[in-house]
Amino acid sequence: MKRKTLTQYLVEQQRSGQSMKPELRLLIETVARACKTISHAVSKGALGGLLGALETENVQGEVQKKLDVISNEVLLEANEWGGHLAAMASEEMETIHLIPNRYPKGEFLLLFDPLDGSSNIDVNVSIGTIFSVLQMPNGVEGADVTENEFLQPGRAQVAAGYAVYGPQTVLMLTIGQGVVGFTLDRETGSWILTAEDITIPADTKEFSINMSNMRHWAPPVRRYIDECLAGKTGPRGKDFNMRWIASMVADVHRLITRGGIFMYPWDSREPNKPGKLRLMYEANPMSMLIEQAGGAATDGNQRILDIQPTTLHQRVGVVLGSKNEVERVTQYHQEAQT
Ligand code: AHM
Ligand code: MG
């Protein structure tokens, strides 16, 4: 069987009249190349002296791991010179990263969580990179980019994806035409198309939530999980299984592969924060992928992709995955309000 590479896939998309701009293709290939470099660094682990924490904290007040910072640098360096971007934003940087004046500017905005699942870095559990692509409003090729240009609802994304650095390194991608998956061939260094027309089953018997927060959940979340836990003899009439990897990339990759529901909902530990996960470079790209694969994504109340962001690093409650389950959780929230 002839193996199709990421480049071939993207060129075919361009030719098939999907009106994908060449700069977007360049952007996606550049991000994918950066993910290869990050994958290589991750796989070195202790041999590269890359495990462990730094003494710095990021804007979220989280201690940065060495690999968080390296991954951020890799993505910045790979993307700043190609002429396809107006600016970048990252979980690891408080303010946006402007393209240096010595390079040409483009019309796209790139946002990323360079290494998601940081608590798993040192214990050799799957971690990954999440990215989201927006366009400058009105297609302006940007000199004076500010945070404001980034504050677009997730439905405006032109592409989104993630890489998982696990037993295999995989890249899942959407350019708004469904979801496709690539596996990194470590011998040739190529991303090979290994999954097409990815569809998340509408029903599932698998949920994913950090159960240790149960006492802090809102009643609708508690109701949903209680009903799952009640199993065959409960209101759902079936037994459920639970999985929690604590890397959103890995949990989402499981459910995009075989169905499931993932939740990191609002809870009362920090009642003024809408959730733990970040809207613009975690929830939005994942929600676009999930919807493109036939699933659903809400914050419990509304579609995540419709949320108008007000700040770059804002947080959001997340409920995503198999459509019927996400709709059930969202309905429980609605019922609790009436
Ligand atoms: P990070 O971006 O700092 O790694 O944090 C996000 C991660 C998600 O990948 C994961 O779903 C969640 O945090 C796990 O949180 P917890 O440790 O509370 O279970
Ligand atoms: Mg993250």
Q: Which of 195, 229, 245 represents a domain boundary (last residue)? A: 195
**Least reliable range by pLDDT among 18-22, 126-130, 146-150, 157-161:** 18-22
Atom of ligand 1 nearest to the CA of 62: 3
Number of domains composing the chain: 2
Q: Is the pLDDT of residue 27 over 70?
A: yes
pLDDT of 143: 63
Name the residue with the closest Cα to ligand 1, atom 17: 246
70 and 139 share a domain? yes
Residues 180-209 have pLDDT tens digits of 999 999 999 999 999 999 999 999 999 999
Atom of ligand 1 nearest to the CA of 212: 19
215 and 155 share a domain? no
Band the pLDDT of 147: cuts 50, 70, 90: very high
* Mean pLDDT for the chain overall: 94
Would residue 40 count as lying in a domain?
yes
How far is ligand 2, taken at its centre, from the CA of residue 116, in Å? Answer: 4
152 and 266 share a domain? no
Does the C-beta of 118 come closer than 6 Å to ligand 1? yes
Angle between helices 22-44 and 6-15 (to 10 degrees): 160
Band the pLDDT of 55: cuts 50, 70, 90: low
**Phi and psi angles of residue 5, each rounded to the nearest 5 degrees, phi first:** -90, 170
Q: Is the pLDDT of residue 212 over 70?
A: yes
Can you give the CATH number for the domain in which 11 is found? Answer: 3.30.540.10
Does the C-beta of 113 come closer than 6 Å to ligand 1? yes
Cα 93-160-242 angle, rounded to 5 deg = 90
pLDDT of 48: 79
Closest CA to 312 of 99, 109, 94, 161: 94
Does the C-beta of 117 come closer than 6 Å to ligand 1? yes
How far is ligand 1, taken at its centre, from the CA of residue 248, in Å? Answer: 6
**Least reliable range by pLDDT among 40-54, 112-126, 295-309:** 40-54
How far is ligand 2, taken at its centre, from the CA of residue 168, in Å? Answer: 20
**Least reliable range by pLDDT among 62-71, 171-180, 302-311:** 62-71
Does the C-beta of 92 come closer than 6 Å to ligand 1? no
Does the C-beta of 248 come closer than 6 Å to ligand 1? yes
For residue 231, how many other CB atoms are within 10 A of its CB?
A: 13
Band the pLDDT of 18: cuts 50, 70, 90: low
For residue 13, how many other CB atoms are within 10 A of its CB?
A: 18
Give the range of the structural domain holding residue 283, as residue numbers without chain letter: 206-337
Would residue 114 count as lying in a domain?
yes
Asked whether the CA dihedral 322, 241, 337, 289 is positive or negative, the reply is negative
Atom of ligand 1 nearest to the CA of 244: 19
How far is ligand 2, taken at its centre, from the CA of residue 251, in Å? Answer: 12
328 and 289 share a domain? yes
Q: Which of 162, 195, 228 represents a domain boundary (last residue)? A: 195
Classify strands 53-57 and 241-242 as parallel, antiparallel or unpaired: unpaired
pLDDT of 17: 73
